[in-house]
Structure 1
């Protein structure tokens, strides 16, 4: 598996190797947030995992709003010291229904874009790679 963590965005990687991702991230000084292989099966479990593992501002309190998720995770990562992050979702296909999985991917892509925007971040841009299996 060849990784290019210089590329921001949501990238589908069929042969995800978490150890290789962690090694590449270390070289780039990136923080890795890796969702589990199992257990992310719906919107509630997706939000729950992020609530428990990824910085938020303000804290997520429910799974009702994708807009609230976007704002919370974006602001939480923006406030973190590192400039690079990798989010690994090894078994995204387990999340259903399909439109909820697509909503999750779309919102992650928006977060990546928002954090790369110099104006939106007031010059504090972040580099985010989302690797999806």
Structure 2
């Protein structure tokens, strides 16, 4: 899997999510511990980010991931099936680009469970999220106006 890290101020010194200060959420995906999620989401909300919590439940897999995205994220166009990862990426992109917000945090709460149960599907799902976050930050894909930053936190250890 390819991840881009959240970058922190003060010459690369990592700030605790608990402080809510100095955390700069950038486009991409970051692996985090379950114990950090509450503080991370609180920090994101303090910064005015829209926060979505994505859960595939019971280990997941392709169908569970598609269903979780359908239940959690705004989609445009709506997904008609669980067949195409490309269609999923396009639908997530379309749904997020039309939001009236400039920054989004998606917390994938059970990424570790899906990785253990269905590693190939989890890797593909993470790649879709990484690419979608990168595309939404690109002016050439957003008609010259990148509308926001999408950061995805993947919980890498069960709670």
**Normalised TM-score (structure 2):** 0.76
Q: Which residue in the other structure is 1:59 paired with?
A: 78
Q: Which moved more, 1:102-111 or 1:23-32?
A: 23-32
Residue 105 of structure 2 aligns to a residue whose secondary structure is strand
Deviation of 1:2 after TM superposition, in Å, equals: 2.4
Q: How does 1:1-133 map to 2 (within 5 A)?
A: 2-3=16-17, 4-36=23-55, 38-39=57-58, 41-95=60-114, 96-122=117-143, 123-133=145-155
Alpha-carbon distance between aligned partners in 2 of 1:127 and 1:21, rounded to the nearest angstrom: 16
Deviation of 1:20 after TM superposition, in Å, equals: 1.4
Larger Rg: 2
- In structure 2, stretches of 5+ residues that fail to align are 1-14, 18-22
Per-residue CA deviation, residues 23-80 of structure 1 (Å, 9 max, x unaligned), is 1111221111112383351111111011112111100121110000000000100000
Higher relative CO (Cα under 8 Å, sequence separation at least 6) belongs to: 1
Deviation of 1:5 after TM superposition, in Å, equals: 4.1
Residue 17 of structure 1 aligns to a residue whose secondary structure is helix
Residue pair 1:5, 1:24 contacting (<8 A) in 2 also: no
Alpha-carbon distance between aligned partners in 1 of 2:122 and 2:74, rounded to the nearest angstrom: 21
**Normalised TM-score (structure 1):** 0.90
- In structure 1, stretches of 5+ residues that fail to align are none
Residue pair 1:28, 1:84 contacting (<8 A) in 2 also: no
Displaced runs of 4+ in structure 1, greater than 6 A?
none
Residue pair 2:105, 2:153 contacting (<8 A) in 1 also: yes
Residue 57 of structure 1 aligns to a residue whose secondary structure is coil
